[in-house]
Chains A and B, each alone.
Chain A
Amino acid sequence: MSFVIGFSLLNLFIALGLSPLFEGVARKLRALVHSRIGPPVIQPYYDLLKLLGKENIKPQGKSFAQVAPWICFAAIATAALLVPMGTGRAPFGAFGDSILFIYVVTLVAVCLIMTAAASENPFAMVGASREMMLQLTVEPVLVIAVVTAAINARSFDLGHMVNWYHFHGPSISMIIASLFLFLALQAQVGKLPFDIAEAESEIVGGLFIEQSGPKYALLRWTMMAKQIIFVSLFTQVFIPWPETGNLALDILIHLAKVLVLVIIISLIDVVNPRLRIDQAVKYYLILVFFSLAGVAFAVIGA
């Protein structure tokens, strides 16, 4: 019981408390590539605080859009409890497995899409449609990577997968799965070249166009936390080394790995142009097809 509560608080701290910091690092990096000085690293905290106090402009009449940001926030925070972060075990691993994780992350997308649709703005509707199409084609890559790990570990529990990979060492199937999951990360966290659903320069923020004030703060925070959660999943399940056995040191190592991956993601983000939605859909459908190779290797035990 104390394990569940203690590690839940730790995961929430990393996913919610530290995610703006990582975002700040990413922004700083982008500024450096652009030859700018850029905002201080803790700027995203200031942004969130400022947004919380800003006026909340809502569409006329009662609508679903009022509740949805809270559900989004709750879902992404629950997803944080289902992923191990440096500890090798997810705090809620005894209550739900990787399939639940995938569906809770889907719930975030569902809420974003329904918020967008409820805001009655046609730009938001276009964004919602694009977000769902991306979800449709990117989710299978994530699913296939998780299924590959599950077949290897003979369990859908993320903790079991981490343990198995520690014990077993690198295998062909897991390397293939991590490669394809890495290619899918960029779209999962909504960064260029796949930030098609927001696309400030063509559909003016898409999903978020009608959001303002505290609601927008929560949705921004959700997106930042989502990035850290996916990166944690990747670093814990697919690159679980090195592990020392010392809890504090393991958590620090985990944070360092997350930082490195966030930097890589930001570098890809800053040097790439945006793809069109049909290009992205085709790209990921091809990835889905090839990522099945990982499953095939896992079945023969390689």
Chain B
Amino acid sequence: MEPILLLFIGFLSLILGAVVAIATHRLRWVCSWASFSFVLLSAVCFFYIAILVFTGGPVIMTEPLIFLPGVGSSLTIAIDPLSALLLLIISIISTCTTLFSVRYTARYQSESLVRYYPFLLLLFASIVGVVAVRDMLFFIAFWEIMTLTSYALVVFERGNEISLRAGFIYFLVTHVATACLIIAAIMLYVQTQAPHSFGFTALKTSLEMLVINHSGLVHIVLALFFIGFVTKAGILPFGFWLPAAYTVAPSGASAAFAGTMTKLGIYGVVRVFCELLPISHYSYMWGQVIAIFGAISIFVGTMSALTQDDSKRLMSFHVIGQIGYMFLGVGLGIFLLPINPAQATMALISGIFHLLNHTMYKPCLFLNAGSILYKTGTRDLNKVGGLLKVMPFTATTAIIASLSIAGVPPFSGFSSKLMIFESSIMSGIDSPHFIILGIVAIFISAVTLASFLKFLNSAFLGKLHVEGETDTQGDVPLSMKIPQGLLAFFCLLFGVVPWLPVRMIYSAISYILPVNYSPASGALLGTALPGFSLNSGQGTFGIWNPLWFLIAMVTLFALGFFISKAGMARTREAETWYGGREHAVEHVRYVSHSFYNPFKQLFVFTIGGIRFEGMYPRVLYPPRVNLSRIISGIKTISNIDQWLYFPFARGFLRLSRWFSRVHVGIPQVYILWIIIGVIAAMIVLFALPAG
């Protein structure tokens, strides 16, 4: 079938699904399953298109669908490998999150489903629109629909004041960001050749003209695009709204946000900075800006996650941290574009590869947190424990996803983090600040591990304990297990066979870069099937082959197994030892909050009315304006003698008093000073020509 036709079918089935969901919202079961069916249909279409694009090349629609001659905008559709990658992600995430929501929404009996499924489906439809169009006006239009529908999902619990406040901030901030995008687009639009056009090709030409003229306008346009995209992606400080908004949204929606919507910020950055912006010293400068903001987000986001005890809030802070990794990779790639084609391509691949991996594990973790919430009614990790015994399946997927995000081999996060670390450190030989960014990334990877071990240890391992609701019989229903299982499977697949996603991403990246810019995939990524090696111009600098790693692990696991069985030791079950006394569980539990306390204390401090928990500011009390203090401050500043003259004068007096001590009045000492002075002068004279 014609791919474009399939795209329409998928898109229309999402719209139709939203309509059907509105019509049937009173019948909760019908509404849920109908929405899921339509999402599944669209997902199959998008998945098939993505496969077609990766095997048969990009799909480009020659005739525009809608043409607006008045503004010179036309709805042109083209699916290149990068868009296809996003379509693949959307198809998987939309299926998983909608299926999870079917039973999960039963938690919200008092809320009408008319405010959930239609918006969720429209969110997916608008995301498809954003990645498929080749026209800035329609891009922004779909972007705006995406913002509005996601706002509706954030404030789903309308009785809850916290959600309303988080939603309001989200609404406000993202609209400022969209305004930035609109201004940037219009600034480029007026520079296009008459008749003006919003098409990507026209904007590319006008941006090229600006770059050639070295116009200062380029920096303004790029800065506006940058702010617009990173605000959506959640890069700090622009993404401060993210933890609040993702925490209060229903878990299915949070997973959809983390899996698809956040990624569009990176998609936008790659589109604008790699495709629209010609390779020039502007990419060199803005690449550094993007990478440094990425590293700041990695550090602050993950450090603050370590101090969280609310499961979904913890995940949300990790979204910020992980997005930082992607921006570090992508920014490094953009920075290297004018310098080193091989390493630039590799860094871009590493960033996008991390995006793909993050798309699998982070929604899985949000769904895990949602399952805990569904089962126990709480997000507070201090109140639950030992759930492995109640929900073994959820616990297993949570362990896989947590180890993936922490970058433990052979799970998926390891492959992409390896690429990001090694390419940032190797490119850092010529620009050393990237080494620091790379080391920050490696250090924070360990912090991520610590944070997720805390999540696993307190929620799933340890003594079984649930405060509050006591419905702890059995695991979550099958329709909630399947999405988690599927996502965990992808975590494992992309970790064991990184070759598959890396080649897909290679074709996406090399397509948007100029023709013949990137080296051939074999020369860049080696032939270490099913892994990859990293080759710069001077040779191989890194390698990862999961197949041999797994062979070794399995063989040695078997060896350990047989050794431990060789002694024929008997096995006996026994109570946990508490030092010889019987205790109730709640007295001897080690709660989530206690983990890593000495370490966390190092990163908690208060300045004035603002408390920094893991570097993330939280206002304790609103800043008070004290008029008399301000006036006295102004007086102090205006009194120049007070702060400029007197300190110097006093310092000079002290210095001269100190010098006067050498006048001891004994002639021998004066002679000694003279000799020392002569020696010093001679040393200086001899040292100078040599130096």
Q: Which residues of A contact B (CB under 8 A)?
A: 8, 49, 51-64, 69-71, 73-75, 77-78, 81, 92, 94-97, 99-100, 103-104, 106-107, 110, 113-114, 117-123, 125-126, 128-129, 132-133, 135-137, 139-140, 143-144, 147, 150-151, 154-157, 204, 209-210, 213-215, 217-218, 277-278, 281-282, 285, 288, 292, 295-296, 299
Q: Are B544 and A97 in contact (CB under 8 A)?
A: yes
Q: Are A210 and B577 in contact (CB under 8 A)?
A: yes
Query: What residues on B are CB-neighbors of A60 within 8 Å?
Result: 573-575
Q: Are B425 and A151 in contact (CB under 8 A)?
A: yes
Query: What residues on B are CB-neighbors of A56 within 8 Å?
Result: 569-572
Query: What residues on B are CB-neighbors of A64 within 8 Å?
Result: 388, 399, 461
* Cα distance, A123 to B461, chains bound together (Å): 14
How many residue pairs bridge A and B at CB < 8 Å? 249
Q: Which residues of B contact A (CB under 8 A)?
A: 386, 388-389, 392, 399, 403, 406-409, 414, 418, 421-422, 425-426, 428-429, 432, 435-436, 438-439, 442-443, 446-447, 449-450, 453, 456-457, 461-463, 528, 531, 538-545, 547-549, 552-554, 556-557, 559-561, 563-579, 588-590, 594-599, 601-602
Can you list 29 A-B pairs, Cβ within 8 angstroms, ordered by A?
A54-B567, A57-B571, A62-B389, A73-B560, A74-B556, A74-B559, A96-B545, A99-B542, A100-B549, A103-B409, A110-B408, A110-B449, A114-B457, A118-B388, A120-B461, A120-B576, A128-B453, A129-B590, A129-B594, A129-B595, A132-B450, A133-B596, A139-B443, A147-B435, A151-B428, A156-B542, A157-B540, A218-B560, A277-B598
User: Which of A62, A113, A215 contacts B564 (CB under 8 A)?
Assistant: A215
Query: What residues on A are CB-neighbors of B421 within 8 Å?
Result: 99
Q: Are B565 and A214 in contact (CB under 8 A)?
A: yes
Q: Which residue of A lies closest to B414 (CB)?
A: A103
Q: Are B560 and A114 in contact (CB under 8 A)?
A: no
Query: What residues on A are CB-neighbors of B388 within 8 Å?
Result: 63-64, 118
* Cα distance, A296 to B392, chains bound together (Å): 48
Query: What residues on B are CB-neighbors of A113 within 8 Å?
Result: 453, 457
Q: Are B599 and A95 in contact (CB under 8 A)?
A: no
Q: Are A150 and B576 in contact (CB under 8 A)?
A: no
Q: Which residue of B lies closest to A121 (CB)?
A: B576
Q: Are A299 and B432 in contact (CB under 8 A)?
A: yes
Q: Which residue of B lies closest to A51 (CB)?
A: B567
Query: What residues on A are CB-neighbors of B435 within 8 Å?
Result: 147, 151, 295, 299
Least CB distance, B499 to chain A, in whole angstroms: 14
Q: Are A143 and B439 in contact (CB under 8 A)?
A: yes
Q: Are A155 and B432 in contact (CB under 8 A)?
A: no
User: Which of B432, B544, B549, B590 contacts A78 (CB under 8 A)?
Assistant: B549
Query: What residues on A are CB-neighbors of B457 within 8 Å?
Result: 113-114, 117, 125, 128
Q: Are B462 and A135 in contact (CB under 8 A)?
A: no
Query: Which A-B residue pairs are the 8 nearest by beta carbons?
Result: A52-B567, A125-B590, A73-B560, A214-B564, A117-B457, A53-B567, A95-B548, A117-B461
Query: What residues on A are CB-neighbors of B540 within 8 Å?
Result: 155, 157
Q: Are A133 and B598 in contact (CB under 8 A)?
A: yes
Q: Which residue of B lies closest to A118 (CB)?
A: B461
Least CB distance, B437 to chain A, in whole angstroms: 12
Q: Are B590 and A126 in contact (CB under 8 A)?
A: yes
Q: Which residue of B lies closest to A129 (CB)?
A: B595
Q: Which residue of A lies closest to B590 (CB)?
A: A125
Query: What residues on B are CB-neighbors of A61 within 8 Å?
Result: 389
Least CB distance, B551 to chain A, in whole angstroms: 9
If A73-B556, A210-B576 touch, whether A100 touches B544 (CB-CB below 8 Å) is yes
Least CB distance, A202 to chain B, in whole angstroms: 12
Q: Are B569 and A92 in contact (CB under 8 A)?
A: no
Main secondary structure of the interface of A (DSSP, over half): helix
* Cα distance, A296 to B557, chains bound together (Å): 41
* Cα distance, A92 to B544, chains bound together (Å): 10
User: Which of B559, B589, B596 contacts A129 (CB under 8 A)?
Assistant: B596
* Cα distance, A274 to B456, chains bound together (Å): 29
Q: Are B418 and A117 in contact (CB under 8 A)?
A: no
- Inter-chain pairs besides A129-B590, A154-B541, 16 sampled, C-beta below 8 Å: A52-B563, A56-B570, A60-B573, A60-B574, A77-B559, A95-B543, A96-B549, A103-B414, A107-B408, A117-B457, A126-B590, A128-B453, A135-B450, A143-B442, A154-B429, A214-B569
* Cα distance, A178 to B491, chains bound together (Å): 36
Query: What residues on A are CB-neighbors of B552 within 8 Å?
Result: 8, 74, 77-78, 81, 92
Q: Are B409 and A53 in contact (CB under 8 A)?
A: no
Least CB distance, B595 to chain A, in whole angstroms: 5
Least CB distance, A232 to chain B, in whole angstroms: 17
Task: Find the residue from A104, A155, A299 having the highest chain B CB count within 10 A.
Answer: A155
Q: Are B573 and A58 in contact (CB under 8 A)?
A: yes
* Cα distance, A282 to B599, chains bound together (Å): 9
* Cα distance, A52 to B409, chains bound together (Å): 29
Query: What residues on A are CB-neighbors of B560 within 8 Å?
Result: 69-70, 73-74, 77, 218
User: Which of A97, A140, A296 contacts B443 (CB under 8 A)?
Assistant: A140
Q: Are B446 and A140 in contact (CB under 8 A)?
A: yes
* Cα distance, A290 to B69, chains bound together (Å): 63
* Cα distance, A157 to B426, chains bound together (Å): 13
Least CB distance, A84 to chain B, in whole angstroms: 15
Q: Which residue of B lies closest to A160 (CB)?
A: B541
If A92-B552, A155-B539, A210-B576 touch, whether A103 touches B408 (CB-CB below 8 Å) is yes
Query: What residues on B are CB-neighbors of A95 within 8 Å?
Result: 528, 531, 543-545, 547-549
User: Which of A70, A123, A135, A147 contacts B557 (CB under 8 A)?
Assistant: A70
Q: Which residue of A lies closest to B450 (CB)?
A: A132
Query: What residues on A are CB-neighbors of B595 within 8 Å?
Result: 129, 132
User: Which of B542, B554, B576 contacts A97 (CB under 8 A)?
Assistant: B542
* Cα distance, A99 to B422, chains bound together (Å): 8
Q: Are A122 and B588 in contact (CB under 8 A)?
A: yes
